[in-house]
Amino acid sequence: MDTLVVATTAADSAAVEAVKNHHTELAAALRAHVAAVVSAATDGNADAAGASRHGLVTWCERELLPHAMAEEKTLYAAAHDDPRARLLVDAMLIEHQVLGAQVEAVRGADSPVRAATEAVALRVLFDSHLGKENEQILPLLASSSTVSLHEILGGMHELLGGHEAHEHGAPAAGSHDGHACGCGESDPVGELPELDARVVPHKIRHATVFGALAAVQPGGGLVLVAPHDPLPLLQQIEGRYPGVFSVDYLERGPEAWRLRFLRD
């Protein structure tokens, strides 16, 4: 559910959207990491299981847990002052502790299957947690006449993602004005995870792609299925991850555009 947020100022409305977009990126990155852990466990690939588990735990330590701590100092501190939200915030602070414990459960799992189980539990908890923030905490703060989200969140990478949207700029690495790189790569597409952006709501489509790409490890890749030729998106990706991905087209419409992203 996407709750309509009525903010007291345009700046606060923009801050809400920035936080929600970052939430979408975090959720997409977590889903991609967890999918890699589950896939490795299902395939019985011990090397891949170890690498994917390490990738998930490292990402949580660098992105998910710092995001939670930043929320406690800003969003939660402001919301806790409102009697209507106090009990909810107290419960969500406990959920942050559970999220940290769940990351440790993934790290300490005694088998790839157990690690996959703990990783799925982490993803489910985080999705539920973000839903409460998006649908309850943010609307309450945005509608407050005494709290300025724009001011308390200004410039915080952990809450806003630290990235600027690039509507103009260089094409994605490895592409030529958005076309295939022509490098002759023959990696089997079936070995790469696939993100079908056509089924993602338009409002969060780019953020979902950014999050999924953030989870791609060196030497890995992702196949993106888009409803149109995503040239503006390719420009934004290059702005965020300059020179990181090579891109080539596997299919060019008319119903779907399939692009392969490979990380060096």
> Over the stretch 109-120, which tens digit does the pLDDT of each residue have?
999 999 999 999
Domain count, the chain: 2
Q: Give the residue-averaged pLDDT of 236-264.
A: 93
Say yes or no: 15 and 68 in one domain. Answer: yes
Least confident interval from 169-178, 179-188, 193-202:
169-178
Cα gap 44→112, rounded to integer Å? 8
Report the 10 Å Cβ neighbour count for 221.
20
Model confidence pTM above 0.85: no
Cα–Cα distance, 116 to 134 (Å, whole number): 27
CA atoms of 108 and 7, how far apart (whole Å): 43
What length does the chain have? 264
- The span from the CA of 88 to the CA of 129, in Å, is 11
Residues 121 and 227 reside in one and the same domain:
no
Kind and range of the H or E run holding 260: strand 257-263
Tell me how far apart the terminal alpha carbons of the chain are, to the nearest angstrom: 37
In the DSSP assignment, the letter for residue 73 is I
Q: Alpha-carbon distance 122 to 103, whole Å?
A: 7
Residues 206 and 143 placed together within one structural domain of the fold: no
**Better pLDDT: 156 or 63:** 63
- Is 178 contained in some domain? no
In the structure, what pLDDT confidence band is assigned to residue 182 with cuts at 50, 70 and 90?
very low
- Residues 58-108 pLDDT 10s: 999 999 999 999 999 888 999 999 898 999 999 999 999 999 999 999 999
Stretch 186-190: mean pLDDT: 43
Q: Assess whether 17 and 62 both reside in one domain.
A: yes
pLDDT at 203: 85
Q: Is residue 75 part of a domain?
A: yes
Check whether residue 145 and residue 204 sit in a common domain: no
Q: How far apart are CA 183 and CA 219, in angstroms?
A: 16
Task: Let me know whether 46 and 144 are in one domain.
Answer: yes
> In this structure, are residues 263 and 217 in contact, taking their beta carbons and an 8 Å threshold?
yes
Predicted local distance difference test score (pLDDT) of residue 150:
77
Same domain, 82 and 131: yes
Q: How big is the CA angle at 240 (ends 238 and 242), to the nearest 5 degrees? A: 45
Q: Find the domain containing 225 and state its range.
A: 189-263
User: Could you tell me if 137 and 194 lie in one domain?
Assistant: no
